[in-house]
Amino acid sequence: MSIGRLNHVGIVTPSIERSAALWRGVLGAMRIHDAFDLPDQGVRVCFVDTPNSQIELIEPLGDASPLIRFLKRNPAGGQHHLCFEVPDIAAAAADLAVKGARVLGAPRIGAHGVPVIFLHPGDLGGVLIELMDDPLGHP
């Protein structure tokens, strides 16, 4: 596989509303999309546009959310993952398996409505990496 464009940086927050206010008021983000729920993943998501990428604000949804543990360790929230585009997610997953990088679970439909996988941070220097299928190769 060959890593593609940085699609977004994921940031966990206890409150999308408060974080969106910071990104708008302090950092001057001009375009903040409407938040929406991904119940299967136990998260609520809100995208903030930046000129060359996006910020994904992620808030726990429900008592079983995988983000609750993250917020216990980081009560104010914080940087959670980096998401890069790849042209073929199945080919990327197969290549990563050969290289011994662990893929966390099966591909699932991510916040952009296309298949994504997550890679174990223990195999990537402590960084949680999301790969997002982008067969059209944007931009």
Using the minimum distance from each CB to Co ion, give the nearer residue, 100 or 105. Answer: 105
Q: Which of 52, 55, 41, 13 is nearest to 110 (CA)?
A: 41
Using the minimum distance from each CB to Co ion, give the nearer residue, 83 or 86. Answer: 83
48 neighbors 54 (Cβ within 8 angstroms): yes
Per-residue binding letters, 27-56, with Co ion (x by CB under 5 A):
-----------------------------x
Candidate segments 23-31, 79-87, 88-96, 119-127, binder of Co ion by CB under 5 A: 79-87
Catalytic residue among 56, 59, 85, 130: 130
Q: Of 12, 20, 83, 96, which lies in the binding site for Co ion, with binding defined by CB under 5 A?
A: 83
DSSP character string of 55-97 = EEEEEE-STT-THHHHHHH-TT-EEEEEEEEES-HHHHHHHHH
55 neighbors 8 (Cβ within 8 angstroms): yes
Q: Is 59 in the site for Co ion (CB under 5 A)?
A: no
**Number of Cβ atoms within 10 Å of the Cβ of 92:** 24
Q: Of 19, 23, 44, 130, which lies in the binding site for Co ion, with binding defined by CB under 5 A?
A: 130
Please give the structure tokens belonging to residue 4. Answer: 């593609």
Annotation says 56 is catalytic: no
Q: Which residues in this chain contact Co ion in the complex, by CB under 5 A?
A: 10, 56, 83, 130
